[in-house]
């Protein structure tokens, strides 16, 4: 069955599997004390133009968000996020489970507004009662957002300035970072992100790896004994090679960006197909997630041959659904879809 259900429906890019196979019988120490971990970190730091970047590999996205937020906040702080942010809604309370409050700000097509963040923090400190409230101690953004949208360099710079003004870290969830960076609307480089954010993660799971996210601390600000803290959160892999080899491959010969570009190119094709067929979009997304408004009968009929994700009810007779492309999507699949529309 044709599937655009998500960007994690296939396994890993073949070069990653090759690297796993090739290195398989090499004896390596556990817990990250292996040569691939070292090599992958060096390559990522270079790609970020941030030679002093401190990098750690964690297996999944929710886990990464949980660990970064929990270990960077001070005890009286919570994390500010757009109300639609992944940490606000879709992580099964993993952030609160570690004792941290998510402070929600308005979402503008998935994005947080720098001026609103500034006002939120400024108002917080003006409130005589602020000692009884959770201090805003970090700003969390996702790039691309949960709605596929992107911050412009100007917007990200503004957020970065607000965070520096209040001396709190700006954290970017880059679960789909590759798809953001290769978007035709993107005016940011990985180096810009490393410069403007205090910590971010480069998503592997959704961009061609079997699993794995690379957390990058850009300001010599990795929490002390971070490996211990990863283990305390239950997340330290014995075979650190698994994540390391994957990222080592992704950051060899620009594979990460090549994979990102494929998803974007296919998304543009998919968009054209829907437009030509007269469909409307719920939101104008420049990345690999496309949100289409389907008439309910059409939805039912289409669902017999194609997998996609339910997003939300639009009105009584229409529904918003998501079609996702990925590193693995082919033009042939887009053509197959076209025939079904």
Residues 237-256 that bind a second copy (CB under 8 A): 237-239, 241-242
Interface with a second copy (CB under 8 A), residue from 66, 145, 149, 287:
66
Q: Are strands 199-203 and 280-281 parallel, antiparallel or unpaired?
A: unpaired
Contact status: 300 vs a second copy (CB under 8 A): no
How many residues of this chain bind a second copy (CB under 8 A)?
A: 77
Nearer to a second copy, 36 or 251 (CB): 36
Burial class of 220 by CB neighbour count within 10 A (0 to 12, 13 to 18, 19+): exposed
**Whether the Cβ atoms of residue 16 and residue 212 lie closer than 8 Å to each other:** no
CB of 313 to a second copy, least distance (A): 9
Q: Which H/E stretch holds residue 338? A: helix 331-340
CB of 106 to a second copy, least distance (A): 13
Contact status: 78 vs a second copy (CB under 8 A): yes
Interface with a second copy (CB under 8 A), residue from 38, 90, 154, 184:
90
Contact status: 340 vs a second copy (CB under 8 A): no
CB of 54 to a second copy, least distance (A): 16
Give the distance, in angstroms, between the CA of residue 130 and the centroid of all CA atoms in the same chain.
32
How far is residue 200's CA from residue 113's CA, in Å, rounded to a whole number?
Answer: 18
- CA angle 70-79-88, nearest 5°? 100
Whether residue 261 has a cis bond before it, omega within 30° of 0: no
Contact status: 62 vs a second copy (CB under 8 A): yes
E-assigned strand segments in the chain: 2-3, 54-58, 77-82, 102-105, 135-142, 170-174, 199-203, 213-217, 280-281, 289-295, 306-307, 309-315, 318-324
Which one of 92-100, 152-160, 191-199, 254-262 is the stretch in contact with a second copy (CB under 8 A)?
A: 92-100
Q: Which residues pair with 215 in a beta bridge?
A: 56, 201
Interface with a second copy (CB under 8 A), residue from 165, 232, 277, 280:
232
Which one of 54-62, 145-153, 178-186, 254-262 is the stretch in contact with a second copy (CB under 8 A)?
A: 54-62
Q: How many CB atoms lie within 10 A of CB 288?
A: 32
Which one of 95-103, 150-158, 190-198, 281-289 is the stretch in contact with a second copy (CB under 8 A)?
A: 95-103
CB of 96 to a second copy, least distance (A): 4
Contact status: 264 vs a second copy (CB under 8 A): no
**Whether the Cβ atoms of residue 136 and residue 163 lie closer than 8 Å to each other:** no
List the one residue out of 283, 286, 287, 282 whose CA is nearest residue 320: 282
Nearer to a second copy, 71 or 160 (CB): 71
CB of 216 to a second copy, least distance (A): 19
CB of 187 to a second copy, least distance (A): 29
Which one of 40-48, 89-97, 107-115, 278-286 is the stretch in contact with a second copy (CB under 8 A)?
A: 89-97
Per CB under 8 A, contacts with a second copy among 133-172 are: 133-135
Per CB under 8 A, contacts with a second copy among 187-216 are: 205-206, 210-211
């Amino acid at each position: 069955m044709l599937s655009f259900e998500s960007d994690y429906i296939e396994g890993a890019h073949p070069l990653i599997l090759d690297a796993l196979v090739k290195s398989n019988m090499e004896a390596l120490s556990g817990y990250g004390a292996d040569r691939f971990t070292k090599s992958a970190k060096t390559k990522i730091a270079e790609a970020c133009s941030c030679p002093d970047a401190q990098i750690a590999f964690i297996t999944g996205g929710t886990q990464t968000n949980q660990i970064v937020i929990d270990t960077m906040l001070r005890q009286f702080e919570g994390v500010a996020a757009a109300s639609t942010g992944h940490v606000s809604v879709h992580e099964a309370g993993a952030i609160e489970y570690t004792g941290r409050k998510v402070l929600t700000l308005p979402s503008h097509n998935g994005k947080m507004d720098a001026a609103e963040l500034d006002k939120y923090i400024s108002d917080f400190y003006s409130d005589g009662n602020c000692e009884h409230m959770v201090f805003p101690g970090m700003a969390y953004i996702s790039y691309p957002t949960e709605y596929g949208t992107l911050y412009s360099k100007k917007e990200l710079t503004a957020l970065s300035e607000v965070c520096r003004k209040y001396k709190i870290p700006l954290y970017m969830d880059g679960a789909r970072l590759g798809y953001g960076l290769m978007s035709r609307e993107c005016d940011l480089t990985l180096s810009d992100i490393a410069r403007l954010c205090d910590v971010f993660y480069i998503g592997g799971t959704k961009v061609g790896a079997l699993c794995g996210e690379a957390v990058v601390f850009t300001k010599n600000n990795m929490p002390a004994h971070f490996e211990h803290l990863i283990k305390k959160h239950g997340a330290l892999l014995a075979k650190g090679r698994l994540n390391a080899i994957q990222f080592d491959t992704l950051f060899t010969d620009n594979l990460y960006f090549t994979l990102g570009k494929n998803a974007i190119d296919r998304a543009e094709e998919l968009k054209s197909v829907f437009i030509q067929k007269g469909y409307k979009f719920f939101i104008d997304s420049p990345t690999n997630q496309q949100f289409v408004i389907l008439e309910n009968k059409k939805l039912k009929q289409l669902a017999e041959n194609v997998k996609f994700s339910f997003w939300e009810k639009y009105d009584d007779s229409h529904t918003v659904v998501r079609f996702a492309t990925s590193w693995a999507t082919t033009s042939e699949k887009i053509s197959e879809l076209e025939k079904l529309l």
